[in-house]
A and B are shown apart, each in its own frame.
Chain A
């Protein structure tokens, strides 16, 4: 069954610490995305990738890095976590074919930075 799996599902981090969120997809999709969700803001795109070993900046990339070592895996890295990065993070993957581009989402990672 096609899926997007995120780990961890929740995490508490200290301000200034490094955080890595991981995502694995079994959909054989070319595109992968990282979104954050905050109350009142909906979902906002942080980084995305359309091929392994390449990443692109989304709409709110500051304070985040991304890594796509393989087609299946996509990580989001917070080098110096800050209080403002407390949010729920969603990974998604999508097909590039026209009419099939709607991303499929994982269950999310709830990050609390203290």
Chain B
């Protein structure tokens, strides 16, 4: 049973466009949602995170939009650059257990 789903599996955008990565979850107990960025050969790096009491979080060119009722969220990468090409993972935490559940990731390619 996949508790965190990401779409699309892969996404190609042109340099300067906004990339939109989607995530949905099933467990209502999830209350904290970090997004990670991973480059080949490296570990996942924390990008931005949102708590379920908020509906939006911004950090630089990255924005999370969160819809608790629909159990989904999205990561918007504004003014995408080739250096943003990476795999992005949506994750979810139930604070009662502090265990992180990952989606399978979205591979983003930003073409110049």
Contacts and interface: CB of A to CB of B under 8 A. Distances in A.
A94 B97 CA distance: 12
Contacts, number: 58
Contacts of B100: 33, 45, 92, 94, 101-103
A50 B98 contact: yes
Interface of A: 4, 31, 33, 35, 40-45, 48, 50, 58, 90, 92, 94, 96, 98-99, 101-108
A50 B99 CA distance: 10
B99 A43 contact: no
A105 B99 contact: no
Given A50-B98, A101-B32, A42 B89 contact: yes
Interface in B35-90: 36, 41-46, 49, 51, 89
Interface of B: 32, 34, 36, 41-46, 49, 51, 89, 91, 93, 95, 98-105
Nearest to A44: B102
Contacts of B42: 107-108
Nearest to A98: B95
B44 A102 contact: no
B46 A104 contact: yes
Contacts of B89: 42-43
22 contacts: A4-B43, A31-B98, A33-B100, A35-B102, A40-B104, A42-B103, A43-B89, A50-B98, A58-B99, A90-B44, A94-B100, A96-B98, A98-B32, A98-B95, A101-B100, A102-B49, A102-B100, A104-B46, A105-B44, A105-B45, A106-B43, A107-B42
